[in-house]
Amino acid sequence: MASLSIENLVKRYGDTQVVRGLNLNVAEGELVALLGPSGCGKTTTLRMVAGFVEPTSGKITLGATDITTLPPHRRDTAMVFQSYALFPHMSVAANIGFGLEMRKVPKVERDERIRAALDMVQLSHLAERLPRQLSGGQQQRVALARGLAVNPAILLLDEPLSNLDAKLRAEVQHEIRALQQRLGLTTLLVTHDQEEALIMADKMVVMEGGVIRQHGAPDELYNNPADVFVAGFIGRCNLIEGQSLGSGKFRAGHGGAVFDCDPATQGSVLALRPEHITLGAPQESAATGTICRITFLGAQTEYGIDYAGTSLVVTTRGRPEGSVVGNKIGLNWQQEHARLLPATH
Ligand SMILES: Nc1ncnc2c1ncn2[C@@H]1O[C@H](COP(=O)(O)OP(=O)(O)OP(=O)(O)O)[C@@H](O)[C@H]1O
Ligand SMILES: [Mg+2]
């Protein structure tokens, strides 16, 4: 395993820069999730690390080696794709051994490494099956084993779980994370699913339009988003445009509702997470709104609330007394949970 360092990486197609001066580090044994909306340049970045796309400029270093211009097979990387791309006519074992054969690993060692890789993903009993005789989750694990078998210095995962249904995806997320931690695999994971990134990553890098908006530990990004884009992209958030009135007060829109906010923050958008608002009796609360919608979500209940012309989403565990559509309800939040942020653009 080795650390990865990306410096000032640029990719241009014609007149369009799709990756615009990216700087990113993955420490040895760390899983970093590259997260962002469709088309923001995640796959392009990963492909540049793997060597399938040539950077326009910038530098990529793996361990002590500058790999920027090395061909893919000379880089010590393994990439697992969204479509697992298993060879349909080859057995599971042969699929896993393919990369080793390409690397001219002798048969005895090859067999040993196939066995070890199958063991890691707990599929030893399916070694002789063909891909079509496996479930989607099993195929995905074979693709992962194929990457692991070559003992790469870094594992590159491009939306590896997007073909799986929600339940299986959650299982495999935890499996991959446990394996990655147990083996100390340096991993760069691309996903557009913020929940997946929160579950699996040591660090998250949020990209938009070819640039990094913010990077940090998952809880750091969740609790201290740098801007409106990050706040809205990670978790849910009430984002309210308006202006600061100073001294911990914020006014929504033009002459709209007044919010208590964190006086240490500045910006034209107030960010307040749905779970940071608690509902109570109107006479005992700092603010009062009207309930417009109640949605039961099992473990949580979600409320749509009109607060002096501003729509708020609030999530709660239980259902407070008097919470009926059309009723007035009290709203409370801690000042430090209502943060002012700069608008994105
Ligand atoms: N070979 C190419 N030629 C021209 N433009 C390209 C090429 N490959 C990618 N692009 C463009 O670069 C941008 C980034 O693409 P990329 O595949 O990196 O996005 P992504 O973040 O992986 O998105 P998704 O989540 O949809 O997979 C897109 O606008 C895409 O259309
Ligand atoms: Mg992609």
Joined tokens for residue 185: 């695999």
Q: What is the pLDDT of residues 32-70, one digit of tens each?
A: 999 999 999 999 999 999 999 999 999 999 999 999 999
188 CA from centroid of ligand 2 (Å): 13
41 CA from centroid of ligand 1 (Å): 6
Stretch 207-225: mean pLDDT: 94
* Nearest to 249, CA basis, from 259, 238, 264, 234: 259
Which residues form the pocket of ligand 1, taking CB atoms under 6 Å from any ligand atom? Answer: 13, 18, 36, 38-44, 192
Better pLDDT: 312 or 138:
312
Q: What is the best residue among 43, 48, 192 to mutate for testing ligand 1's pocket, by most ligand atoms within 8 Å of CB?
A: 43
287 CA from centroid of ligand 2 (Å): 44
The full set of domain ranges for the chain reads 4-229, 239-341
Residue 4: which residues within 8 A CB-CB, separation 6 or more? 24, 25, 26, 49, 60, 61, 62, 154, 186, 188
Pairing mode, strands 77-80 and 238-246: unpaired
Stretch 206-219: mean pLDDT: 95
Q: Which ligand is nearest to the CA of 13?
A: 1
**Conformational region of residue 23, where left means phi above 0, alpha means psi within -120 to 50, and beta covers everything else:** beta
Stretch 23-36: mean pLDDT: 97
Q: What is the pLDDT of residues 161-212, one digit of tens each?
A: 877 788 888 888 898 899 899 989 999 999 988 999 999 999 999 999 999 9
Q: Which atom of ligand 1 is nearest to the CA of 82?
A: 27
Q: What is the best residue among 9, 10, 13 to mutate for testing ligand 1's pocket, by most ligand atoms within 8 Å of CB?
A: 13
Question: Could you give the 3-state DSSP secondary structure of residue 320?
Answer: coil
Question: Could you give the 3-state DSSP secondary structure of residue 144?
Answer: helix
Residue 286: phi, psi to the nearest 5? Answer: -70, -30
- Would you tell me which CATH number, out of the four given (3.30.590.20, 1.10.287.70, 2.40.50.140, 2.60.40.1220), belongs to the domain 239-341? 2.40.50.140
Look at the block and give the residue holding tokens 């870094």.
154
Joined tokens for residue 162: 């997007």
14 CA from centroid of ligand 1 (Å): 13
- Report pLDDT for 287: 94
Stretch 7-13: mean pLDDT: 98
Q: What is the pLDDT of residues 260-289, one digit of tens each?
A: 999 999 999 999 999 999 999 999 999 999
Q: Which residue's CA is the nearest one to ligand 1's atom 7?
A: 13
The whole-angstrom separation of Cα 224 and Cα 221 is 5
Q: Which atom of ligand 1 is nearest to the CA of 37?
A: 25
320 CA from centroid of ligand 1 (Å): 47
Look up the CATH number of domain 4-229.
Answer: 3.40.50.300
Q: Which atom of ligand 1 is nearest to the CA of 19?
A: 14
Q: Which ligand is nearest to the CA of 205?
A: 1
Q: Which atom of ligand 1 is nearest to the CA of 16?
A: 5
The whole-angstrom separation of Cα 198 and Cα 215 is 13
Q: Are 60 and 49 in contact (CB under 8 A)?
A: yes
Joined tokens for residue 5: 């360092």
Q: In one letter, which amino acid is 168?
A: L
Q: Which residue's CA is the nearest one to ligand 1's atom 5?
A: 13
| Greatest distance between any 2 Cα atoms in the chain | 78
Q: Which residue's CA is the nearest one to ligand 1's atom 17?
A: 43
275 CA from centroid of ligand 2 (Å): 31
* Nearest to 35, CA basis, from 176, 232, 188, 197: 197
The whole-angstrom separation of Cα 180 and Cα 144 is 11
Measure CA 116 to chain center.
29
Stretch 9-31: mean pLDDT: 97
Q: Are 45 and 211 in contact (CB under 8 A)?
A: no
53 CA from centroid of ligand 1 (Å): 11
* Nearest to 233, CA basis, from 222, 224, 245: 222
Q: What is the pLDDT of residues 228-246, one digit of tens each?
A: 999 999 999 999 999 999 9
